[in-house]
Structure 1
Amino acid sequence: MKPSINERLSIIGVAIDLGAGTPGVSLGPAAIRYAGVTDRLESIGYEVKDEGDIVAIKPENPKTEGTNLKNLDEVVRVNTELCDKVSKTMEEGRFPLVLGGDHSIAIGTISGVLRHKKNLGVIWFDAHGDINTDETSPSGNIHGMPVAVSLGLGHEKLTSIGGIENKLDAKNIVFIGSRDLDAGERKVLKEFGITVFTMHEIDRLGMPEVIDRAIKIASEGTDGIHVSFDLDGMDPIYAPGTGTRVPGGLTYRESHLALEMIALTEKVVSAEFVEVNPIIDNMNQTAKSAVALIGSLMGEWLI
């Protein structure tokens, strides 16, 4: 076992649940650390630096005047800090591994990476679309908006994080494991021509074919691939500790195979694992799954 991406790696925790509807996911980074992520990465061969956590502070009033977005200003502050920290990590020649927290943190992660990789491909594992805006979101929860923001859609306080010029190209974004999309999200996905491999496609084609296609889309003409893995992309049988569980998701082995195949490309430049909620987990099972999946993405091989 040896590193196949970058021998120097930084763990960045983001203790936030303000973008989600269920409290407790702010404890995700601690749960993943407790499950042994550092030891796992060091056993693969990485030189690991733990940067600690960016911690969100719950505001007295979650509402922001003029918008239905919840906790907007604090989510913006946290993601701005994360953007800067991810950017600094990459300046130092280190691989940023971000641990959530809710999926709103992808706004900060991706904007930080885009400062260094102008043409970034993204493979997004998730039961949901995360491509709502303040106009389409039925809940106002920002963890359902990071892809939209990274495309330049949504509230200006969010889209300005990292610079309005640093945005993704829709043609290099791939969703995997989708099975719960809002009506507004379906419309945007079709308008932008974003590739979505729902569970239907995974069942029909098989994970190897889906990942081969996803890698091609995310790597064609890009400077690297960002992997964003929401644990609710997996079936709740394997990841019970997440706040937005949807039955019929990825199996444990499908998830590992997907990440192993992506690792083999040696094109991954950043990654995040999000939405681990130990409060509703079963003996830290979901955090343990996250650690094992991180190992697969970072080049852990049996032989």
Structure 2
Amino acid sequence: MNVTIILASYDSGYYHGGCGQGPDALIAGGLTEALKLAGHDIDVHDIGRMSDEQEREIATGFAVCNAVSGEVRIACDRGRFPIVLAGNCLTSAGAVAGEGADAMIWADQHGDLNTPDTSTSGFLDGMALATVLGLCWRPIEARIPGFKAIDPARCVLVNARDLDTAEQQLLETLPVIRTECPDWAGAAQKLKDAGAERVHMHIDLDVHDPEALQANRYATPGGPAPEQVRQAMCGMAGPLTLVGLTISAYDPAFDAKGEVPPLVGQLLVDLLATLEKS
């Protein structure tokens, strides 16, 4: 399979800070080699550093989305499957735009469904899925080339276990499809029934049980094991049309033994094998 890996090495507006170190760490940990050994043609592009040296979180976060949208569009136009390695979950908005995706699988321990009106922390990445669904930041997200908000009825939220009160209340009013990993088949069918044709898959690595895989400082107890995440993601990818993938939120400072890159490699090898068969 022809694959383009796009590196977006930012965390909260900072280049190579925190989870912004994750993309390079995944590559250094053997991700490219694992995919090549599995028979895939791999091309790696780094969006590099944005020109704004002030590192303002909101402006820089959306500048990253703009750059990612362009790189993803180029990959798709060349018949290559785009995989974005990102520090922040917000970057998925750029990938969705570049792919022309109309549906979303969002695997994350958090809901990422706060808005500027509901957030008590002001953490931009806590608004990432809300942004993709068009619930906030509409003027600035409209400037991402090709961006169209995903209908909440065509969004699957997987294993979100750490939700703010405002997010819980919002989910009671939205038609978002919620599921746990073992129930992937029902979620995939609901997404098909909702009219999903071009699905983007977003995996925040803190969706995992931190006792099995700790990806960053935000991890809370519970969650699925790596093999459960692999089974669910591959299971949903089979009957659906997956047009791109984002892997986010890996901070190597919380992975002293370097256990995350091989597990991400195994996930991607299995996922791409599923796509080749479907």
Partner of 2:3: 9
**CA deviation profile, 1:82-119 (whole Å, cap 9, x unmatched):** 112112211222111000112121121112222xx4xx
Contact (CA 8 Å) 1:35, 1:291: kept in 2 or not? no
TM-score calculated relative to the size of structure 2:
0.89
Contact (CA 8 Å) 2:6, 2:45: kept in 1 or not? yes
SS in 2 for 1:178: coil
Q: Distance in 2 between matches of 1:106 and 1:165?
A: 11
| Greater than 3 Å deviation, 4+ residue runs | 53-62
Q: Distance in 2 between matches of 1:89 and 1:156?
A: 26
**CA deviation profile, 1:176-215 (whole Å, cap 9, x unmatched):** 1111111221222222221222xxxx4xxxx44x110121
Matched, 1:296 2:258: no
Alignment coverage as a number of residue pairs = 273
Q: Distance in 2 between matches of 1:193 and 1:183?
A: 17
Q: How far is 1:300 from its partner?
A: 6.8
**CA deviation profile, 1:218-272 (whole Å, cap 9, x unmatched):** 3332222211001110011122231310110111221121123134336211001
TM-score calculated relative to the size of structure 1:
0.82
Q: How far is 1:57 from its partner?
A: 7.0
Q: How far is 1:157 from its partner?
A: 4.4
Contact (CA 8 Å) 2:13, 2:61: kept in 1 or not? yes
Matched, 1:139 2:113: no
Contact (CA 8 Å) 1:35, 1:284: kept in 2 or not? yes
Q: Distance in 1 between matches of 2:140 and 2:213?
A: 29
- The more displaced of 219-228 and 93-102 is 219-228
Q: Distance in 2 between matches of 1:288 and 1:139?
A: 33
Mind listing any 5+ residue stretches in structure 1 that lack a counterpart?
Answer: 1-6, 63-70
Q: Equivalent of 1:224, from 198, 202, 206? A: 198
Mind listing any 5+ residue stretches in structure 2 that lack a counterpart?
Answer: none
Contact (CA 8 Å) 1:15, 1:29: kept in 2 or not? yes
Partner of 1:52: 46
* Aligned Cα root-mean-square deviation (Å): 2.4
Q: Equivalent of 1:90, from 76, 80, 84? A: 76
Report the identity percentage.
25
SS in 2 for 1:145: helix
SS in 2 for 1:192: coil
Matched, 1:100 2:74: no
| Closer/same/farther in 2, CA of residues 168 and 253 from structure 1, 3 Å limit | same
Q: Distance in 2 between matches of 1:108 and 1:185?
A: 23
Amino acid at match of 1:297: L
